[in-house]
Amino acid sequence: MQFSIRTQSPEKCKTGCLVLAVQGGENLTRAALAADKAARGALRQALAGGDLPEKAGSTLLLRGVPGLAAERVLLLRLGERDKYDAAAFREAARGAATALKALGAKDAVLFVTDLAVGGRGLPWAVRQAILCIREVFYRFDQLKTQKKPAAAALAAVTLAITGAPVTLQAQAALREAVATADGTDLARTLGNLPPNLCTPSHLADEAKKLAQQYKLGIEVLERRDMEKLGMGALLAVTRGSHQPPKLIVLRYAGAAKSRKPLVLVGKGITFDTGGISLKPGAEMDEMKFDMSGAGSVLGAIRALAGMRAPVNVIGVVPACENMPGGAATRPGDVVTTLSGQTVEILNTDAEGRLILCDALSYAERLEPEAVVDIATLTGACVIALGHVATGLFANDQRLADQIRAAGEDAWDRVWQMPLWEDYQEQLRSNFADMANIGGRPAGSVTAACYLARFTRKLKWAHLDIAGTAWRSGREKGSTGRPVPLLVRLALRRAGRRA
Ligand code: BES
Ligand code: MN
Ligand code: ZN
């Protein structure tokens, strides 16, 4: 799908489908007004029929509208004027995309960015429109033998504006959005792949492919490297599995060498059975998504490299499976982490923090400017924040504020949770420096507190994406979050605002 942005007169657009926006009632936007004039009021007349519901994202398809060069016109509801916010804009963009998908149009011209969305500029609207359209058109059908015919044949999408010329920032936003969508697609596909295919080795292979395609630095540490380094916690998690563990280190250098890197650490448990602390059977298949943090790191790096962003980013992905078995770690085992601290593994299902603590200690050696880890870490985070906000924890408030702002901007939002010392006592162990679980209260906080013990020398933030990385039920599938947030964060740290 090819995107472009252009200044155009709506009535002259020769296109399979012209998308024109309407606010509440019969409130036509600028482009819709111009088209209505050329069509001698045909649009207003159609609206008067009352077939376009008020809800943002509703659509009404018209064919053979006189006076317009377009084959079809799709009237799109933006939502009422006083409620026109980021959420409504995204609803509208998704609504338009859903209608275009059903229609099977080959090309479309959308006039949806004429109205500013709550103080946000054209670049923001361009990014959001593209991400929403790509989200709707994403497909994962590589494992179906009977593929649906490619009704989704929308090949060219023009985001059109009236009056003003297209700014350089809007052009840059387009390139950024397309690359971000590519990265999000990668994260989604890695997440959706079944756990027999998306193994630690597969993640390493995908990282190698990215390295080749975008000329990135890559290193994959094998089990014996981990043993030599002393990654006792990561090794404890992989013990029960027949899949070899991998620690992937992927480097994108888009800025001066002197600039310290932003390090992204992604939890890469390709399947989480819980290990000897076995999970109950219901919905266990969803634990294939337990590598979503890893997927988002690879996706974000793909996006940043794809747009040649002026940033230095290193992805660190500890990847393994958490399986039961005769060689598996037992509850009560004590291991020595890469940091030298010892951990009593009281629950083998709290494995994410075990692989992350060694990966974070490894990240420290890369002399980062800041480290952000991304992990489907706790069910407790889903209880706290549901499927809307990602949980944010940080030992540096400036970094936390940057992440919150980037999430708001990308509409990939986070909510900050406490990381207070008061919670640390819950991790007390009688037999080691700490336990790997802190009991039922504040489960997502104690998980973050555990990680905090390995990041004392770093500017560090932790994103718990347990509730936001995938959807369950009929629409089961990876969301690709928080790739949009991570991309925006890296760009904003490099000084890009628009
Ligand atoms: N991968 C899970 C967290 C998870 C569970 C994410 C359900 C999304 C949905 C993680 O490894 C885990 O099992 N965490 C345990 C920790 C507990 C044993 C302290 C949990 O949340 O139950
Ligand atoms: Mn687990
Ligand atoms: Zn897990």
Q: What is the mean pLDDT of residues 414-434?
A: 98
**CA 150 to chain centroid:** 26
What CATH number is given to the structural domain containing 87? 3.40.220.10
Pocket test for ligand 1, best of 238, 347, 349, 373 (most atoms within 8 A of CB): 349
How far is the centre of ligand 3, averaged over its atoms, from the C-alpha of 269 (Å)?
6
Q: Which residue among 127, 251, 353, 481 is the active-site one?
A: 353
Q: Which of 161, 192, 218 is the last residue of a domain?
A: 161
171 located within any domain: no
Query: Are residues 220 and 155 located together in one domain of the fold?
Result: no
Q: Which residue among 208, 259, 279, 492 is the active-site one?
A: 279
Q: Which of 108, 128, 161 is the last residue of a domain?
A: 161
How far is the centre of ligand 3, averaged over its atoms, from the C-alpha of 183 (Å)?
23
Residue 364, ligand 1, Cβ within 6 A? no
Residue 350, ligand 1, Cβ within 6 A? yes
3-state secondary structure of 126: helix
Q: Are residues 5 and 158 in contact, defined by beta-carbon separation less than 8 angstroms?
A: yes
Predicted local distance difference test score (pLDDT) of residue 82: 80
Cα separation, 475 vs 452, in Å, equals: 35
- CA 467 to ligand 1: nearest atom: 8
Query: Are residues 201 and 128 located together in one domain of the fold?
Result: no
Say which range, 131-135, 151-155, 383-387, has the weakest mean pLDDT.
151-155
Average pLDDT, the chain: 97
Q: For 65, phi and psi rounded to 5 degrees?
A: -75, 125
210 contact partners, CB below 8 Å, separation of at least 6? 216, 218, 250, 298, 301, 302, 305
Ligand 1 atom 3: residue of nearest CA = 378
Under the banding of pLDDT at 50, 70 and 90, the label for residue 143 is: very high
Handedness of CA 462, 280, 320, 324 (dihedral sign): positive
pLDDT per residue as tens digits for the range 281-328: 999 999 999 999 999 999 999 999 999 999 999 999 999 999 999 999
Query: Are residues 69 and 216 located together in one domain of the fold?
Result: no
Predicted local distance difference test score (pLDDT) of residue 496: 85
Query: Are residues 286 and 208 located together in one domain of the fold?
Result: yes
Query: Are residues 112 and 239 located together in one domain of the fold?
Result: no
How far is the centre of ligand 1, averaged over its atoms, from the C-alpha of 334 (Å)?
20
75 located within any domain: yes
How far is the centre of ligand 1, averaged over its atoms, from the C-alpha of 342 (Å)?
21
Residue 340, Ramachandran bin (φ over 0: left; ψ between -120 and 50: alpha; else beta): left
- CA 269 to ligand 1: nearest atom: 1
Q: Are residues 90 and 118 in contact, defined by beta-carbon separation less than 8 angstroms?
A: no
Residue 374, ligand 1, Cβ within 6 A? no
- CA 438 to ligand 1: nearest atom: 19
Query: Are residues 141 and 266 located together in one domain of the fold?
Result: no
Under the banding of pLDDT at 50, 70 and 90, the label for residue 498 is: confident
Residue 467, ligand 1, Cβ within 6 A? no
Q: Is 279 a catalytic residue?
A: yes
CB atoms within 10 A of CB 382: 17
Ligand 1 atom 13: residue of nearest CA = 349
167 located within any domain: no
Write out the residue range of the structural domain in which residue 100 sits. Answer: 2-161
Tally of structural domains, the chain: 2
Please tell me the pTM assigned to this model.
Answer: 0.98
Ligand 1 atom 8: residue of nearest CA = 466
239 located within any domain: yes
How far is the centre of ligand 1, averaged over its atoms, from the C-alpha of 274 (Å)?
8
- Do strands 434-435 and 342-345 pair parallel, antiparallel, or not at all (unpaired)? parallel
Q: What is the largest CA-CA distance in the chain?
A: 82
411 located within any domain: yes
Query: Are residues 218 and 266 located together in one domain of the fold?
Result: yes
Residue 443, ligand 1, Cβ within 6 A? yes
Q: For 38, phi and psi rounded to 5 degrees?
A: -65, -30
Residue 151 scores a pLDDT above 60: no
From residue 220, give the alpha-carbon distance in Å to each of 193, 200, 238, 298, 409.
Answer: 21, 11, 16, 14, 34
How far is the centre of ligand 1, averaged over its atoms, from the C-alpha of 8 (Å)?
51
How far is the centre of ligand 1, averaged over its atoms, from the C-alpha of 279 (Å)?
9
- CA 469 to ligand 1: nearest atom: 8
For residue 381, what are its two tokens? Answer: 């985070």
Which residues are bridge partners to 464 per DSSP? 375, 391
477 contact partners, CB below 8 Å, separation of at least 6? 140, 188, 191, 192, 470, 471
Residue 152 scores a pLDDT above 70: no
Cα separation, 95 vs 321, in Å, equals: 39
Cα separation, 445 vs 391, in Å, equals: 9
Ligand 1 atom 5: residue of nearest CA = 379
Q: What is the mean pLDDT of residues 366-394?
A: 98
172 located within any domain: no
* Cβ density class 144-180: b for 16+ within 10 Å, e for less: eeeeeeeebebeebbbbbbeeebbebbebbbebbbbb
Handedness of CA 328, 330, 336, 341 (dihedral sign): positive
How far is the centre of ligand 2, averaged over its atoms, from the C-alpha of 305 (Å)?
32
Query: Are residues 380 and 231 located together in one domain of the fold?
Result: yes
Q: What is the mean pLDDT of residues 451-468?
A: 99
Residue 1, ligand 1, Cβ within 6 A? no
Query: Are residues 382 and 466 located together in one domain of the fold?
Result: yes
Residue 409, ligand 1, Cβ within 6 A? no
498 located within any domain: no
Query: Are residues 202 and 157 located together in one domain of the fold?
Result: no
Peptide bond into 165 cis (omega under 30): no
- CA 279 to ligand 1: nearest atom: 13
470 located within any domain: yes
What CATH number is given to the structural domain containing 418? 3.40.630.10
Pocket test for ligand 1, best of 354, 378, 427 (most atoms within 8 A of CB): 378
Q: Which of 133, 161, 189 is the last residue of a domain?
A: 161
Query: Are residues 300 and 378 located together in one domain of the fold?
Result: yes
Residue 349, ligand 1, Cβ within 6 A? yes
Q: Which ligand is nearest to the CA of 447?
A: 1
The C-alpha angle 230, 443, 397, rounded to 5 degrees, equals: 80
Under the banding of pLDDT at 50, 70 and 90, the label for residue 150 is: low
Q: Which ligand is nearest to the CA of 274?
A: 2
3-state secondary structure of 152: coil
DSSP string for 378-389: -HHHHHHHTTTS
Residue 345, ligand 1, Cβ within 6 A? no
Under the banding of pLDDT at 50, 70 and 90, the label for residue 448 is: very high
Query: Are residues 360 and 489 located together in one domain of the fold?
Result: yes
CB atoms within 10 A of CB 221: 20
Handedness of CA 424, 427, 431, 432 (dihedral sign): negative
